[in-house]
Amino acid sequence: MSNATINVFRTAEPVMCSNKNVAEFNYSVQVKQKKGGQVIKFSEKHEICFLFLPEVKLMFELASVSPVIQHGWMTEEPTGFDSWAATLGSVKSS
């Protein structure tokens, strides 16, 4: 991305830690001044917790709730192997 004075380059390197249900995203960021060419570099690490659908369904069952919706994040498309995020909803079972 850029504006009138800088260009920003960001690279993400994801690392899956399946035993911890965590994905680590290691970001390298480079900000370059358009005038003068000065470059500032920094890095960030973000850990994001994830659950697979069978785990969520088990949690629903243990909490005595029933799923009512399941689709890709911010879509109404069914979830699949290419889904990075999903919306799930449930109601209390009788």
What residue spans define the domains of the chain? 6-49, 53-92
pLDDT single digits (tens) 10-46: 999 999 888 888 999 999 999 999 999 999 999 999 9
* 83 pLDDT above the threshold of 90: no
- 23's CB contacts (< 8 A; 6+ apart) are 14, 15, 16, 17, 47, 48, 50
Q: What is the pTM of this model?
A: 0.56
Percentage, residues of the chain above pLDDT 70 = 100
Mean pLDDT of the chain: 91
pLDDT of residue 35: 95
